[in-house]
Structure 1
Amino acid sequence: MASTGLQLLGLLLAMLGWVTGALVCAAPLWRVSAFVGGELVIAQVLWEGLWMNCLSQTTGHIQCKTYDSTLALPGSIQAARSLAVLSLLLCLLAVVLGVAGAKCTHCLGDGNRAAKPRLVRISGGLFLLAGLLYLIPICWTAYAIVKDFYNPDIAAPLKRELGPALYLGWGSSLLLLVGGALLHVGSSPPGAIALPSFGRSKDNPQPAAGEGKPQEKAYV
């Protein structure tokens, strides 16, 4: 049977992951200037994200600027943008389906009880897909940062470190995956469990042993 508690918990976790993912997508903290060698004190720190970069100075002044041209960006950033936006759109569709099909809501009316668990399972699957799609640009960006950091051919000022947005992105993907799994598990269709045999015997009682004997004698 469908579990209202699992559905609500999964929907809340998935929505939290969706909101966190939207903030991570907009935050310019995916890449941060690295402190390499003797450069322990610098006057400026560069933050880079999917949509803008920011320059933070030791005086506390922060200046942000969006990228001038989308086509001039590297292919990795363009792919990360596409996957992140696609993941957020899938989350939006999943939220609508999850709220409409939740057992505690009456969006579809009481006459569509059979379709509600199916909608919740679809919502859980969309959240799982969105979590995987969001995990790809996060892991790919982290891999590229670590690879460039240990590459001796890249100059020290051009090296970057993992920004705090990447760690939040991993947490957001985990929330989406866990929330989608809970939605799928907690929306088993009603009637999937077989009814016990003694419940049916009350509706169709078998004739008693003494009642069948007179009929047999009559035919004889």
Structure 2
Amino acid sequence: MDPIVEAVALLLGFLGWVMVGVAIPNRYWKTSTVDGSVITTSTLYENLWMSCASDSTGVHNCREFPSLLALSGYLQASRALMIASVVLGSFALVTTLIGMQCCKAAEDKPVLKGKLAGIGGVFFILQGFCTMISVSWYAFNITQEFFNPLYPGTKYELGEGLYIGWCSGILAICAGVCLVFSCKTDTEEKPAYAYQPSRGTIYSAGATSRRDAPSTYDKNAYV
């Protein structure tokens, strides 16, 4: 594999992994504004863990969701997928670092290092898919409630945490694709001996034929 491709893929994967860590605690996964007077105007926003509200004076209060079992199914699934994304990204970074050519670990086994780089790419792809599924599923429920005229509750819009998650998933998938489709897991080794059936003689692969070798004797060497 080209070392430049390895470095670029590792950088993209690392950025995607960091952005997952930024998206999970971000409070603005969905936002809504309740208009009123200057005093009563407030902004409501939620994420995977809590619901918050802030008024026009800058005072904000947050309340964590009381029970895990009382949450809706998509919210529980989004939590699990985001946590799985962090774990898969950690595995991807470790295996990719070991599989890089600049790493001294197992440097005498290029085939193994190529396979490790490919496995790291698979982990990055899985990380990206977990993030994309979690964020997209959450966004789908927001839009479904927003465009439902019979929905009685507060209607929310997409928050910045979702966009961070989408960017993270795209970066992780790009890194994984670069590693999987660019890694070389086999090496071309030249045989130590080559058999010449027409001459009936076995020659060394690096040796030259006696017929083709230039003569070191001239006519004056013969009596």
Counterpart among 205, 210, 214 of residue 208 in structure 2:
205
**Does the CA-based 8 Å contact 2:106-2:113 persist in structure 1?**
no
Structure 1 residues 109 and 47, CA, compared in 2 at 3 Å: closer, same or farther?
Answer: same
Greater shift, 65-74 or 123-132, is seen at 65-74
Q: 1:164-203 counterparts in 2 under 5 A?
A: 164-189=160-185, 191=187, 203=206
- Residue aligning to 1:104: 102
| Aligned match of 2:17 | 18
Q: Secondary structure at the match of 2:122?
A: helix
TM-score (norm 2): 0.81
Partner of 1:43: 41
Cα distance, 1:84 vs structure 2: 0.9
Stretches of 4+ aligned residues off by more than 4 angstroms? 38-42, 192-195
Q: Compare CA radii of gyration and give the structure with the larger one.
A: 2
Cα shift at 1:22: 1.4
**Paired residues for 1:61-210 under 5 Å:** 61-106=59-104, 108-155=105-152, 158-189=154-185, 191=187, 203-206=206-209, 208=211
Give the CA RMSD over aligned residues.
2.7
User: What is the distance in 2 between the residues matched to 1:192 and 1:144?
Assistant: 52
- More contact order relative to length (CA 8 Å, sep ≥ 6): 1
TM-score by length of 1: 0.82
In 2: Cα distance, 1:43 partner to 1:193 partner:
73
Task: Give the number of equivalent residue pairs.
Answer: 201
- Structure with bigger helix share is 1
Seq. identity, %: 31
Tell me by how many angstroms 1:69 deviates. Answer: 1.1
> Structure 1: any 5+ residue segments left out of the alignment?
210-220
Where do 5+ consecutive residues of structure 2 fail to align?
192-202, 213-223
